């Protein structure tokens, strides 16, 4: 991923477009769908109207929920949605018109925005800090009440993205309650197929469609600022809306302990591509939701005690998903593995100790260990360079141990290109004698699982 020096552009754009307004949101009840439209105003020069559409299904409670009871969570979805539009010029002021936020809430949002945009700032060579990057100004005295404060259903909503992690959560939680529901944001072939294999049809799947305003895409084409935003934070707020409209208390994400590792360290600020998948965000989000949106919501990551390596081992026990799971961002539009990106290479590496070479090549279409083009990403993944790829991947330790475990199974005289290269590095000498079982048996204590769910995960993993 290329680093672009947009520091001058950043300053010029902030002077030209010096404020961003969250004007309003609209709730539209159609015959076949429940729609939300947000209105954002960029310095009275550009307007954006992103939407959320939820096709109606029998298990929704829209008819018994008033617009007033939904305002709180919908307003908050707008608060996280706005950052995708704010970032194109990074105005020094964000003005909030729909509802009131107190000082604690303003500080919470500034923390999320700043840390969630860490990669964006870094790759655009923007030097700023949490105090100066923007000011949140609230122009409303309309205080909101809790959206869902009497949820009674103890079953679980399970967001599904189509990758191996959500597959493991689906498999392990599906039998805990027959009333569990999948949630798929912008359904695609991989997410639909993996949920269907797990036993979830259209009848028990929440489908939500989010659209990006084309005006933003046009500004991106014209050279305005662009980059990564904390998508998982947006998903988090959308899952709370889903919980409220289905009367379900529990939301089980599939974020693991590996997401806590920073992608790069810069001037004592940890920059993490996966910030909104980290335990820090999970803890902050739970606290915020229970205090300001719904005291009944139990948002947690089921896989938090485990590492990517442990999840890969669990996933390898479910070969029925091998042909359909996908987590390559470049190939997401065509539901394929591109075979040329760090996400593909990482997934290939982390599965290689547990899935046969033949099955790996069937999944990815080739042996990625034999591709010299991937050497740069390989060096990033093993920690040989100063930063990891900006992708949702595991830790440097896990990657090295996975490689050592894979090499131990192979003929040392006939290793593919990347594995042969690896055996000549200090990394190989450092990790090959480390206790692989210790990592595979690790169970991180920082999580929000109930004792029953913790016990279930331990039984399945160990």
State pLDDT tens for residues 75-108: 999 999 999 999 999 999 999 999 999 999 999 9
127 lies in some domain: yes
414 lies in some domain: yes
142 lies in some domain: yes
Q: Which domain holds residue 274?
A: 7-301
What per-residue confidence (pLDDT) applies to 335?
Answer: 86
Same domain, yes or no: 29 and 138: yes
Q: Which two tokens stand for residue 263?
A: 């992608």
Cross-strand bridge partners of residue 42: 20, 46
d(CA 167, CA 306): 14
Same domain, yes or no: 264 and 339: no
pLDDT in tens, the chain (462 residues): 556 667 789 999 999 999 999 999 999 999 999 999 999 999 999 999 999 999 999 999 988 888 988 999 999 999 999 999 999 999 999 999 999 999 999 999 999 999 999 999 999 999 999 999 999 999 999 999 887 668 889 999 999 999 999 999 999 998 888 899 999 999 999 999 999 999 999 889 999 999 999 999 999 999 999 999 999 999 999 999 999 999 999 999 999 998 888 887 555 567 888 899 999 999 999 999 999 999 999 999 999 999 999 999 999 999 999 999 999 988 777 889 999 999 999 999 999 999 999 999 999 999 999 999 999 999 999 999 888 888 888 899 999 999 999 999 988 889 999 999 999 999 999 998 887 888 899 999 999 999 999 999 999 887
d(CA 176, CA 194): 18
Same domain, yes or no: 61 and 132: yes
Q: Which two tokens stand for residue 15?
A: 């002077």
Q: Are 460 and 176 in contact (CB under 8 A)?
A: no
Cross-strand bridge partners of residue 248: 153
φ, ψ dihedrals at 296, nearest 5°: -95, -15
Is the four-CA dihedral 331, 346, 281, 88 of positive or negative sign? negative
Same domain, yes or no: 160 and 296: yes
d(CA 346, CA 400): 11
What per-residue confidence (pLDDT) applies to 436?
Answer: 83
Write down the H helix ranges in 247-374.
Answer: 279-292, 308-315, 342-351, 357-364
What per-residue confidence (pLDDT) applies to 291?
Answer: 96
Same domain, yes or no: 244 and 358: no
d(CA 23, CA 21): 6
pTM over 0.75: yes
Number of structural domains in the chain: 2
Cross-strand bridge partners of residue 253: 301
What per-residue confidence (pLDDT) applies to 6?
Answer: 78
Same domain, yes or no: 291 and 336: no
What per-residue confidence (pLDDT) applies to 295?
Answer: 93
SS3 at position 34: strand
Q: Which residues of 393-430 are buried (b: 16+ CB within 10 A; e: fewer)?
A: bbbbbbbbbbbbbbbeeeeeeebebbbebbeeeebbee
Q: Are 85 and 20 in contact (CB under 8 A)?
A: yes
Nearest to 87 by CA among 228, 199, 215, 197: 228
Is the four-CA dihedral 336, 341, 345, 347 of positive or negative sign? negative
Same domain, yes or no: 280 and 420: no
Tell the residue number behind the tokens 């870094």, with chain if given. Answer: 122
446 lies in some domain: no
455 lies in some domain: no
90 lies in some domain: yes
Same domain, yes or no: 129 and 253: yes
Other Cβ atoms closer than 10 A to 129: 10
Same domain, yes or no: 29 and 162: yes
Write down the H helix ranges in 247-341.
Answer: 279-292, 308-315
What per-residue confidence (pLDDT) applies to 329?
Answer: 85
Same domain, yes or no: 194 and 268: yes
Same domain, yes or no: 221 and 342: no
What per-residue confidence (pLDDT) applies to 193?
Answer: 96
458 lies in some domain: no
What per-residue confidence (pLDDT) applies to 254?
Answer: 97
d(CA 290, CA 148): 10
């Amino acid at each position: 991923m290329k680093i672009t020096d947009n520091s001058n552009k950043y300053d010029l754009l902030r002077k030209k477009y010096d404020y961003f307004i969250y004007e309003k949101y609209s709730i539209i009840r159609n015959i076949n769908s429940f729609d939300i439209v947000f209105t954002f105003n960029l310095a009275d020069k550009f307007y954006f109207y992103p939407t959320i559409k939820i096709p109606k299904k029998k298990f929704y409670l829209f008819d018994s929920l008033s617009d007033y009871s939904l305002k709180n969570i919908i307003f908050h979805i707008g608060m996280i949605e706005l950052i995708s539009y704010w970032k194109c010029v990074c105005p020094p002021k964000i003005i909030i018109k729909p509802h009131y936020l107190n000082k604690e809430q303003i500080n919470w949002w500034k923390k999320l925005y700043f840390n969630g945009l860490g990669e964006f700032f870094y790759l655009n060579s923007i030097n700023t800090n949490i105090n100066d990057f923007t000011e949140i100004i609230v122009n409303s005295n309309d205080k909101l009440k809790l959206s869902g404060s009497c949820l009674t259903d103890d079953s679980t909503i399970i967001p599904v993205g189509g990758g191996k992690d959500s597959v493991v959560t689906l498999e392990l939680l599906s039998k805990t309650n027959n009333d569990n529901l999948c949630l798929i944001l912008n359904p695609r072939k991989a997410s639909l197929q993996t949920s269907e294999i797990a036993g979830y049809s259209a009848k028990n799947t929440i489908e939500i469609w989010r659209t990006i305003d084309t005006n933003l895409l046009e500004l991106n084409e014209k050279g305005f600022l662009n980059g990564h935003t904390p998508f998982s934070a947006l998903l988090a707020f959308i899952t709370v809306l889903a919980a409220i409209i289905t009367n379900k208390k529990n939301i089980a994400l599939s974020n693991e302990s590996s997401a806590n590792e920073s992608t790069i360290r810069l001037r004592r600020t940890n920059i993490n591509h996966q910030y909104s998948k980290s335990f820090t965000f999970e803890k902050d989000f739970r606290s915020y939701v229970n205090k300001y949106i719904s005291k009944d919501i139990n948002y947690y990551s089921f896989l938090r005690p485990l590492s990517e390596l442990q999840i890969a081992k669990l996933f390898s026990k479910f070969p029925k998903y091998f042909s359909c799971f996908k987590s390559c961002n470049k190939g997401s539009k065509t539901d394929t593995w591109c075979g040329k990106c760090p996400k593909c290479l990482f997934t290939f590496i982390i599965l290689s100790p547990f899935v046969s070479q033949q099955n790996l090549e069937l999944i990815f279409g080739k042996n990625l260990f034999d591709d010299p083009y991937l050497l740069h990403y390989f060096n990033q993944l093993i920690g040989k360079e100063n930063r990891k790829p900006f992708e949702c991947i595991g830790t440097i330790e896990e990657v090295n141990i996975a490689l050592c475990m894979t090499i131990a199974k192979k003929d040392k005289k006939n290793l593919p290109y990347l594995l042969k290269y690896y055996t000549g590095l200090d990394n190989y000498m450092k990790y090959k004698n480390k206790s692989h079982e210790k990592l595979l048996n690790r169970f991180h204590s920082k999580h929000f699982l109930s004792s029953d769910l913790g016990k279930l995960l331990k039984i399945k993993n160990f």
